[in-house]
Structure 1
Amino acid sequence: MSQPTHTLEPVEKGDEENIMKLLKKTFFIDEPLNAAVGLITSENDTCIELEEYCTHSLKDGLSFKAVDSEHNIVGVMISGIMPLKEDANGNDLLSQAQRCKNPKFKKILYILARREAGARLWEKYPEEQHLVEIMVAATDPGWRRRGIMNDLLNRTEQATAQRGIRLIRLDTSSAYSAMAAERFGYTNVYKALYTDIKMDGRPILVPEPPHVDDRVNIKKLFD
């Protein structure tokens, strides 16, 4: 018997609730930084700050979903258009971390702020002003190993190139996603061991092995 197939569609207004249901049973729990701080313990819990982070970029029209024959969302990739250098307007990641009232998510924001400062993409790609950043990706556990992430990534890259944006960014906190990024032709431009990302002399977060380092990966889509 053949396996059920999926189709890809742009994420639309009204998809947020079903996307959140998928993310709460996958990304919210499984992603190494989220798991390291115990951000949520079950799909019935929530983290408002992470929900806002996940949905902020939907307005850019570069997010895609995989749906089954009954139009259930079985995979999603959320991406947004970002400047290579954060605006100094108080909404940079460090400022967000300093203001964050959720102590668990605050640690994650500090990791992201260190990542941004360490990557220094505006120096590596001075000819570019913007890129597309893949913020979140998730597949329903029952639909894994069926090429959904491959399809979503290809669709996102195509849409990015069609917008005339040369660079696409894929940050990886997981050893598995880092290997996948390399396999798909992304170049690692920043890497830091979690044990070396410290505050007050102590590591901010140390996920369970094999997730030992934090990375930024870039792919140039056209010359």
Structure 2
Amino acid sequence: MAQSYRVAPVCAEDVPDVMKLLKKTFYIDEPLNEAVELCDENGICPELDEYCTHSLLEGLSFKAIDQDDNIVGVIINGVSPLKEEDNGNDLLSQARRCQNPKFQKILYILARREEVSRLWEKFPQEQRLVEVKVAATDQNWRKRGIMNALVKETEKITEQKGIRLLRMDTSSAYSAMSAERLGFMCVYQALYSEIKRDDQPLIVPKSPHLYDKVFIKKLF
């Protein structure tokens, strides 16, 4: 019989263990991170640390823990506007001033998502959404429904806050399939080979991760 787990909100004391899990999974497995070899030989990338922890304690993130209270899965969520403010902290501005050339490429891809997906035009009645920023499961606990459970908790807290839209961006073909199974609708996709800067593709992950996608689920 498979070991059981339960889902609970992430709290401040969880941060070290959450980051430990991410460094074993998301830091090296996520297709863009893997393609550019983002982390150094010690698994360190300060820019990615900042990205992962920025929204971690907004009260919207959840962990899956086993019977010994070990964190075996996590989903990091944050509230975002449908349209970025042009205040110098938008993704394109962040990309232009990023000093890490590998992370800079990822930021340019994220900026293009915002520019081309134009969510504020697709959902003109909405001002904000909850965004799934990072999700990871311990490799020994995969295919046990952990991510489904974490997304369901995210949906509940999103509805409780009166926010109608839940967003999930996927660089992984497997994550895209999961999003579709969970009832998300793809509102943007682009072949990585066609996302270019200076006439060269920014990042081309290995197959089957061919597309950059944005998914939206309207909750009510």
Q: Which runs of 5+ in 1 are unaligned?
A: none
- The residue number in structure 1 matching 2:152 is 154
How does 1:194-205 map onto structure 2 within 5 Å?
Answer: 194-205=192-203
Q: When the two structures are superposed, what TM-score results if normalisation uses the length of structure 2?
A: 0.98
Matched, 1:37 2:45: no
Paired with 1:93 and 1:158, the residues of 2 have a C-alpha distance of 28
Q: When the two structures are superposed, what TM-score results if normalisation uses the length of structure 1?
A: 0.97
* Aligned pair partner of 2:210 in 200, 209, 212: 212
How does 1:40-51 map onto structure 2 within 5 Å?
Answer: 40=39, 44-51=42-49
- Displacement of 1:41: 5.8
- Displacement of 1:40: 2.0
The number of equivalent residue pairs is 220
Q: Over residues 138-190 of structure 1, what are the superposed CA-to-partner deviations in whole Å (9 max), with x where a residue is unaligned?
A: 00011111110010011101110111100000001011111111111111000
The structure 1 segments of at least 4 consecutive aligned residues displaced by more than 6 Å after TM superposition are none
- The residue number in structure 2 matching 1:64 is 62
- The residue number in structure 2 matching 1:92 is 90
Q: Which runs of 5+ in 2 are unaligned?
A: none
- The residue number in structure 1 matching 2:135 is 137
Q: How large is the Cα RMSD of the aligned pairs? A: 0.9
Q: Over residues 29-60 of structure 1, what are the superposed CA-to-partner deviations in whole Å (9 max), with x where a residue is unaligned?
A: 00000011011266x42111011101111232
Paired with 1:104 and 1:14, the residues of 2 have a C-alpha distance of 30
2:11–2:57 CA contact under 8 A, matched in 1: no
- Displacement of 1:89: 1.1
Paired with 2:183 and 2:30, the residues of 1 have a C-alpha distance of 22
* Aligned pair partner of 1:127 in 122, 125, 128: 125
- The residue number in structure 2 matching 1:179 is 177
User: One-letter code of the match for 1:6?
Assistant: Y
- Displacement of 1:14: 1.9
76-85 vs 51-60, which deviates more? 51-60
- The residue number in structure 1 matching 2:103 is 105
2:10–2:57 CA contact under 8 A, matched in 1: no
* Aligned pair partner of 2:51 in 50, 53, 77: 53
Matched, 1:14 2:13: yes
